[in-house]
Amino acid sequence: MPGDHRRIRGPEESQPPQLYAADEDEEPAARDPTRLRPVYARAGLLSQAKGSAYLEAGGTKVLCAVSGPRQAESSERGSGPAGTGGEAPAALRGRLLCDFRRAPFSGRRRRAPPGGGEERELALALQEALEPAVRLGRYPRAQLEVSALLLEDGGSALAAALTAAALALADAGVEMYDLVVGCGLSRAPGPAPTWLLDPTRQEEERAAAGLTVALMPVLNQVAGLLGSGEGGPTESWAEAVRLGLEGCQRLYPVLQQCLVRAARRRGAAAPP
């Protein structure tokens, strides 16, 4: 039954009590800066999507689904001034539409679904990182829709979403040059800060700077890079990028095995 708003006047805005609570979390325990949390990845779990993947790393849970290729809605769409060169081939290329969503219960405070600027920014980051890997030239006038849903944010959410999206695209049978593996990093504030690989949510919240790198492991090309904060001089950022790239290379065999298992499952399930 909806509350009786006319007689019971509550405040217009309400906040969860945790905001006002004293910070009881102690400093996160010192840990090896290059440790990666164990990852569980599974592809091919949604029956209604062409390709899908679920990735769990520590407390971060991401579900990604790919649908398409289907006919692009409008063939001429202004993509900004940089897209004006090269008429015929650019218009015939396929398009990748990415959508990043956070579940309302994914973080500490409830966020209503149209999340606004941040989700659009992360969706754009997803698109920019996946485009180098997908052979869009093979899908003329078509569009592929990738939608990532963050079920729980336990740190390095964008990196997990990137990896899940690449797995889902591979599971959907989309032609790709290589998989895209994402890795998150954060730099703790303080006098002698080091970059920590694969931060947890507490480490990310206290961080002075954060970085997400996306790598195509076999080609050794960086597909995506997004970082901000008080990272310090360029040498510090360069060290962070190197650490992230190493982390991506270490994660790659897990994803290969996941795709092999999914292919076997699909082969076994196919009717003889």
220 near another protein, rule: CB under 8 A: yes
222 near another protein, rule: CB under 8 A: yes
**Least spacing, CB of residue 18 vs another protein, in Å:** 12
Binding segment for another protein among 60-68, 124-132, 137-145, 149-157 (CB under 8 A)?
124-132
**What does the block give as tokens for 247?**
């982390």
**Least spacing, CB of residue 145 vs another protein, in Å:** 16
84 near another protein, rule: CB under 8 A: yes
267 near another protein, rule: CB under 8 A: no
Rounded distance between C-alpha atoms, residue 50 and residue 53, angstroms: 11
**What does the block give as tokens for 221?**
């090309």
15 near another protein, rule: CB under 8 A: yes
85 near another protein, rule: CB under 8 A: yes
208 near another protein, rule: CB under 8 A: yes
**What does the block give as tokens for 185?**
């990093």
145 near another protein, rule: CB under 8 A: no
Rounded distance between C-alpha atoms, residue 212 and residue 165, angstroms: 15
97-121 burial by CB neighbour count: b if 16+ within 10 A, else e?
A: ebbbbbbeebeeeebeeeeeeebee
Q: Which of 98, 169, 241, 255 binds another protein (CB under 8 A)?
A: 241
The 25-64 contact track toward another protein, x by CB under 8 A, reads: ----------------------------------------
221 near another protein, rule: CB under 8 A: yes
Rounded distance between C-alpha atoms, residue 127 and residue 145, angstroms: 10
CB atoms within 10 A of CB 20: 7
Binding segment for another protein among 46-54, 59-67, 74-82, 139-147 (CB under 8 A)?
74-82
Q: H helices then E strands: how many in the chain? A: 5, 9
Nearest to 65, CA basis, from 162, 129, 139, 149: 149
Q: Which residue has the tokens 């997803």?
A: 126
Q: Which is nearer to another protein, 2 or 80 (CB)?
A: 80
Rounded distance between C-alpha atoms, residue 263 and residue 269, angstroms: 10
Binding segment for another protein among 126-134, 145-153, 166-174, 251-259 (CB under 8 A)?
126-134
Interface with another protein (CB under 8 A), residue total 47
Distances (CA, A) of 181 to 7, 31, 215, 263: 55, 23, 5, 19
226 near another protein, rule: CB under 8 A: yes
Residue 76 one-letter amino acid = E
Rounded distance between C-alpha atoms, residue 127 and residue 152, angstroms: 21
Q: Which residues contact another protein (rule: CB under 8 A)?
A: 15, 19, 78-86, 117-118, 120-121, 124-125, 128-129, 131-133, 208-209, 211, 216, 219-234, 237-238, 241-242, 245
